[in-house]
Structure 1
């Protein structure tokens, strides 16, 4: 009987503790896509505007290689440098904002070779059987003004390199082009939003947000923007090249190697037509709905 009385007395205490204990919430992983942006707290109309144009390539890159051979690595390197020295001097006379030149070297040893009793040629790879060295000077040229691309390319070919790569064109949009496309995309968004509001029987209000990245108009608000692929339309115009200035009358001085190189380049102009690249931009504009 005594044990039963003690147990009955303890029941109110347990009930009081149960009422005083705070409720335990289940730990859930918050979904980062459930957060509602501030601009969606009332009825809005997110609208994406698009702008597209075709712009001529404004970058051209190519490489030329000069090879030299010598008994030592230094001799091979000096021979390669001697072949490209005049060309490097001619290119560096141009403004660095127009033409940029970088160089690098690669040196490789070649070994003595012999034939075995069956007549098969065998190449040695031992360090004490080195016969000489081959050095390759790679001259990389980046042209940032398409008006000088053809004379620069002709100048490189006139220096008689061992190998010249094909010209690779690219487009690097400047700030003026970006600003123009953003403005056109914003105007396009306004036209589209006005049409959507009219079709739905609503009235378009003021602008709550302008997002040049376009993310605000996507379902995945925190997702990454996909990379834009540039479509190329092969088209361009012939760039006129003006040769070197004429020498004044009188006994001409002996022509310098640099002048001879430029004269050979002027005789053999090469057509390099920059292609057109398609540049796109999109802007998200969020409007209030009345």
Structure 2
């Protein structure tokens, strides 16, 4: 009885491993077909492409201040952005999100070495001044307010301002519409192909929004197993695209009168700094695989 019980126990322990054994081995010429290919089928890939206006924008501006005291330099830099931050905050977080950071660095006494190269005397007792830099980073979520927000920052006379970048964040409705249109396009392609061949389209066997089921290795049977024959690829359907727009220096308007330090720019200064900033069109694509039976 003991040998019989040992054999039964061995079979029970090995059953999960046997159940996970792939239906094909590397190098095997013929492999079992998926269940939905036991009868004649047609696999159709639908493609959809749409252009949508970018709905996000962003840029950053920096304000610098130099003083012999690190505390005073930081205070002056903070004063430059305090009123601006309050003005931008009045738009609300659904329109623009503002992040402000403050950094300081020492400015050392300089000297020339034996080769005439100008170097910093990086010793604690050789610090001449401190430079504080306040950076305002803006993420505009309502691009209809972009021109006014950008003009407000420009009128505040920052030491530097970055280029404006644009991006598209599609909502769930747009994604659902893309997926539906991709499946519809796959159905139209399959119907047109079958009718051209003189056949009749049957029932739907598989609907795969990722398009994976229509790949060659699946239609041939099963994906290869093991590292020697390549790994299956995960396909991501969400497309995020970005763009940017730069203003040429020779086309830049003359700077508006600067606002006093610590004060928000006036309406006249904002209007004088307004520029045309039209969000560009961005491309979204999607695919879907639909497998039909043939009558």
TM over 0.5: same fold? yes
Q: Specify the alignment match of 2:120 in structure 1.
A: 123
Q: Deviations over 1:155-200 (max 9, x none)?
A: 0001110000010111111112112222221211111001121233
Counting matched residue pairs gives 243
Q: Specify the alignment match of 2:235 in structure 1.
A: 225
Aligned in 2, Cα 1:118/1:181: closer, same or farther, shift over 3 Å?
closer
The answer to whether 1:266 aligns with 2:271 is: yes
- Structure 2: state its 5+ residue gaps: 1-20, 219-231, 246-261
Q: 1:46 aligns with which of 37, 43, 48?
A: 43
The answer to whether 1:289 aligns with 2:294 is: yes
- Structure 1: state its 5+ residue gaps: 1-26, 235-255
SS at match of 1:192: helix
Cα distance in 2, alignment partners of residues 215 and 286 from structure 1? 11
Q: What TM-score does the superposition give when structure 1 sets the normalisation length?
A: 0.73
SS at match of 1:79: helix
The answer to whether 1:280 aligns with 2:285 is: yes
Cα distance in 1, alignment partners of residues 44 and 107 from structure 2? 66
SS at match of 1:135: strand
Aligned in 2, Cα 1:47/1:119: closer, same or farther, shift over 3 Å?
closer
Aligned in 2, Cα 1:288/1:158: closer, same or farther, shift over 3 Å?
same
Q: Which has the larger radius of gyration?
A: 1
Q: CA deviation at 1:261?
A: 3.5
Contact 1:232 1:276 in 2 (8 A): no
Aligned in 2, Cα 1:43/1:116: closer, same or farther, shift over 3 Å?
closer
Q: Specify the alignment match of 1:77 in structure 2.
A: 74
SS at match of 2:288: strand
Quote the RMSD (CA, aligned, Å).
3.2
Cα distance in 2, alignment partners of residues 231 and 167 from structure 1? 11
Q: Specify the alignment match of 1:5 in structure 2.
A: none
Contact 1:233 1:276 in 2 (8 A): no
Q: What TM-score does the superposition give when structure 2 sets the normalisation length?
A: 0.72
Contact 1:64 1:164 in 2 (8 A): yes
Aligned in 2, Cα 1:172/1:117: closer, same or farther, shift over 3 Å?
closer
Aligned in 2, Cα 1:220/1:65: closer, same or farther, shift over 3 Å?
farther
Q: What are the equivalent positions in structure 2 for 1:1-290 lying under 5 Å apart?
A: 30-31=25-26, 36-114=33-111, 121-221=118-218, 222-225=232-235, 257-258=263-264, 260-290=265-295
SS at match of 1:181: helix
SS at match of 1:272: coil
